[in-house]
Structure 1
């Protein structure tokens, strides 16, 4: 067996084991990089270290650090409360408010899992108390998280664009974000109609349910943050800091990670006593996972695996079929493993398709990204698990079966639809 095939098998086994057992995929990545790269292929340790994504690490750590400060000091809950006031008692607007809030949160840099963790308890509680289909509500929350996940300042968007840039592959951060956002909005609209959302527009919130002014209690129970409705100078400074980070990044082309660290440090100096627990809130498991898998992918490149796969994809002959296959591979594996890790691994392997002048590179990238992220409702993913943990008024086994069946349908259809829209038809 060639070392190239062995490295691919190891990658697949890594994802399978990590999806079954609660072991961080990044640890598998680092160990595999050492065994496959050094012990089997004879690479020097320095060569393995060169594959560590130092720039990506700074970006991810910086953005999540700033977001952790915003979550700890109550700024995120302030944003949530302000959005919930827009409901004005109409049940039919609740799912869309959750969708919009989740989208906004991920669009400004929050990880999708963090967004679902914040809104799932509130959304599913409201669903149980107002006879809203919990599956529909859960889908709206996770789709909102997906809608903003490819923002240029979201960790997932950062990973995708960073992987593409590091390999001199075509990039269009703004267009990728817009494509994913529009696709998610249309998908959410279809789900809203299918699950009876239209009839909900004629109903008002249950009188026994806390209205928007009282939902702060629910937020406090889930975030341990007091007085979420009260704006303070520190929350105002945090909001201004997030805006400044966005401006520095998009207007002045500053490094996102360093810009976020700078704003975060200033906020920390403003109120040192409020920094307790900030670092603990950061998604270190996600950062470790990304660092490990990208390091291993770097080893795969050095031993020739990427080139090997390139030749295989070239043999397909039809770039359209190759793009469709890549979309389904991303969708199927992502339903059981990390979306970010899958994208970090599969995008470099799709290089031959992206460099083919007869096909839209951004269309292929969009199709793969959408196919890999839209299945995050799977009960085997973190988002799906969060929904299962917070559902009310429905037996967990029943809700699990509903999510599982829906996930199978999405896995079977969504990658093909994304490929049809963005690759075959070529929109935009």
Structure 2
């Protein structure tokens, strides 16, 4: 309906402007007043042309109306010429009744063409009016139903959000409760660890005294009465002395384990691994010569850590390699390293360590090796893969290595193949800055 009104309005404006121009020419011819010729016929023609172009745009969806507009365009062009000619003739003060007749005929043709276009628009008006009545009838029910739906959605959203909000509050409350419990458990665990370490130290220290007495009494007994005792008694005394010696070694190793990995932010410094390796190699020089072994190492980087603990870590790994050297070949230990981002490591790391830089140390030897099934077991306390008669030791050395790497927020893994050798991978962060909150 708006379209029909728009077309009718444009046609009326065009007709009115043409008639106004025609009336201006006649008014000037009667009165000779030049005011009737303002605006000029050319300016009037331009305004009529603008309305025509708007009308053509409005009716572009109707091929029939476009054809009528083509005809109307021709009529308007003729009219423009008549108006321009009429203006010139009247200015020269010449009367020409034929021009008036031609103008009237031309105007009649324009009126008929406009009426034809109006009839076309009016033919569609009943159908559009019917559609308007139809939509007017369903408007109220549609708005009512839409309102009901909107109210339902609003109520449902309110209930859902309220439920989610209450659930969120419940979750936050439970999380706070879990955090409090976790903090309490951490405090209890730290206190328990301190008490256990203190107990281990005190127990180990107190056990030294009876061991010393047993060793002293056994030595005195053997020195004073050894010649009088039977051979079997002397053998028993020797076995008792050996047991005491093993017990002393075990207690000392327990003390080492309880003290290993104790680090605080105050004792974390930049440590040159090459210096530590040089010191360890010097300490193990005699054992290496016995096995005719050699250590080949790349130039290692400096990392943050506790120097004493890191030296103990390297010493225990190298001692393990020397102890389990193959009798069939000369021992060769190769030490290499890589600097990798946390995301590139093949170990599970925390999310805040993905962009941290890690030093991946590899200690590889050609010793007797071990079965891959025991790769995790060898890091457990007192776990041995060989009997006491074959290899000495208490099975604490690698457990200490595990404790030291854990305290430095690192990782240690072992790979082995029986009869061919073993490889220990130690992964340590270059800096401990992201780990301060965990000390």
Higher helix share: 1
TM-score by length of 2: 0.18
TM-score by length of 1: 0.19
Higher strand share: 2
Choose between structure 1 and 2 for higher RCO, CA contacts under 8 A separated by at least 6 residues. Answer: 1
